[in-house]
Amino acid sequence: ATPTSIMAGSGRAAEMGVLFKGGEHLENTRTIQTIVLDKTGTVTKGEPELTDVHVVSGEEENVLALVGGAEKHSEHPLAQAIVHGIKQRHITIPEPEQFSALPGFGVEAQVDGKTLYVGTRKLMKQHNIAVEAVEEKMASLETEGKTAMLIAIDNELAGLVAVADTVKETSKAAIARMKSLGLEVIMLTGDNEKTATAIGNQVGIDRVIAEVVPEQKADEIKKLQLEGKKVAMVGDGMNDAPALAVADIGMAIGTGTDVAIEAADVTLMRGDLQSVADSIQISEKTMRNIK
């Protein structure tokens, strides 16, 4: 590859909002066979909204106030959606006495002298909290593509809250284009299987790897590489950084976190998935001109 043609290719890519960090990435992108997409903030807008509250024990307003206290110091987009929704209901949110984020699972906090857990089924299981009372409700919300989070107060199930995050307008067409280029498209998420499958169906992704905790995202990429595949990972979150670094090509959504952008080989400034197909086509064109 001549430096001149690589430079020209990089320039063309930049005009389309695709920033390659080095010439070697522009060369290698065309060899990608499998595209792994993070869900939240990559396939979806990453602006979840609180849509459902289902309380099975206690006063709804009290439960929501405690949940707000537990989530108010979490930086997770889900937490921000929950807190925003609770504020919109004109409920005063107390300051927690204690707070810890449990990445991939939820949060643990001490609020008004009570122990709160808000998060996944696995989080409840870890604390032996029975969830049967809301299991059916939870499953039906997840089938709609919503993320439902369980609430426990002093080791007893209090109910759940659900948030919905809509898919980006361009995701479906972009994924169809990736498939037409012969690429395998997989979605990788920490969210549960049902929600992930519902979102996958909305955008035409048939293979979903769900319930993957942040530390395991990179391992899932390595597994695909062991199958002999050249893998590109596309993500926006702090959680995605190790997977972006391990992938043959890491692509960060330009509107995403700095950590993701730093770990990636390519930045997609437009923030939509059409740029994934663009970058592969630019790489092919550039290398074809060289040969």
**Is 272 tagged catalytic?**
no
Is 76 near ligand ADP (CB under 6 A)? yes
Q: Which of 242, 219, 179, 203 is nearest to 39 (CA)?
A: 203
Is 149 near ligand ADP (CB under 6 A)? yes
| Residue 102, H or E segment | strand 98-102
* Binding residues for ligand ADP restricted to 176-205, rule: CB under 6 A: 189-191
Is 214 near ligand ADP (CB under 6 A)? yes
Exposed, middle or buried: residue 288 (CB in 10 Å: 0-12, 13-18, 19+)? exposed
Quick one: what does residue 147 bind among Mg ion, ligand ADP, none, with the CB cut-off 5 to 8 Å set by partner type?
ligand ADP
Torsion angles phi and psi, residue 263, rounded to 5: -75, -20
For residue 132, give every residue at least 6 positions away whose Cβ sits within 8 Å of its Cβ, in sequence order, or none: none
Choose the catalytic residue: 38, 191, 248, 278: 38
Cβ contact 131:121 at 8 Å: yes
Angle (CA) 142 239 229, round 5°: 90
CB nearer Mg ion, residue 114 or residue 146: 146
Q: Contacting ligand ADP (CB under 6 A), which of 29, 239, 283, 286?
A: 239
Name the one residue in this structure whose structure tokens are 């597994």: 223
Least separation, in Å, of the C-beta of 46 and Mg ion? Answer: 6
Is 38 near Mg ion (CB under 5 A)? yes
Is 52 near ligand ADP (CB under 6 A)? no
Least separation, in Å, of the C-beta of 284 and ligand ADP? Answer: 30
Is 232 near ligand ADP (CB under 6 A)? no
* Alpha-helical regions (H) of the chain: 3-15, 23-28, 60-71, 77-88, 121-126, 132-143, 171-180, 193-203, 217-226, 241-246, 258-263, 274-290
Of 9-17, 19-27, 236-244, 275-283: span binding Mg ion (CB under 5 A): 236-244
Least separation, in Å, of the C-beta of 18 and ligand ADP? Answer: 23
CB nearer Mg ion, residue 234 or residue 277: 234
Is 147 near ligand ADP (CB under 6 A)? yes
The DSSP secondary structure of 112-140, one letter per residue, reads: TTEEEEEE-HHHHHHTT---HHHHHHHHH
Q: Which positions are catalytic?
A: 38
Residues that bind ligand ADP (CB under 6 A): 39-40, 71, 74, 76, 78-79, 104-107, 118-120, 147, 149, 189-191, 214, 237, 239
